[in-house]
Amino acid sequence: MRIAKTNIPDLLTIEPNIYEDGRGYFFESYSASKLNEQGGDITFVQDNESKSSYGVIRGLHYQLSPYAQTKLVRVISGKILDVVVDIRQGSPTFGKHISIELSSENKMQLLVPKGFAHGFSVLSETTIVLYKCDNYYNPASERGICYNDPALGIDWRIEPDKAIVSSKDKVYPALANAEMNFIYGNTH
């Protein structure tokens, strides 16, 4: 398992060592000890799975502290563009985002810490996404940022007329007006 930093501190990519033979393949998809060496002491308490079709854009979502969630995201089937935005006040990368393609073929994973908004677009006919969370879902603390906020400049790689976005995600505020309570260096 190779764990690497991205160009935004605290966001990590995880690439498994895949062992293939005539029967198929095997890989270690999660190791608490290896991840904790790189990203702090994380205890996951909930797994979530979603299935979506081509053109779906989900996000950008987060939960306010103390209900914020660290997520470990991977794709079981299909392909997504995973997008993460730094929303930690005082961060040198505040408002910046990264986009990384996660697929069942590349088996890459992304660790999304607390203090980041998360979303993805579906680039294949259908996709199944699995993500581990270190805190439970709390509807009262759920917040979001509008996926097409021009200040973020995110290329979701979906033509606007093919985008499928929930009514909730369409009305989230721009980053400049979003409610957040994350302070850089103090999001755990």
Active site residues: 61, 131
What is the DSSP secondary structure assignment for residue 183, as one 8-state letter? Answer: B
Among 139, 96, 133, smallest CA distance to 112 is for 133
Cα gap 72→115, rounded to integer Å:
14
Residues 6+ apart with CB under 8 A from 101: 79, 80, 81, 82, 108, 123
Parallel/antiparallel/unpaired status of strands 164-165 and 56-63: parallel
Cα gap 83→60, rounded to integer Å:
8
Note whether 80 and 73 are within 8 A (CB): no
SS3 42: coil
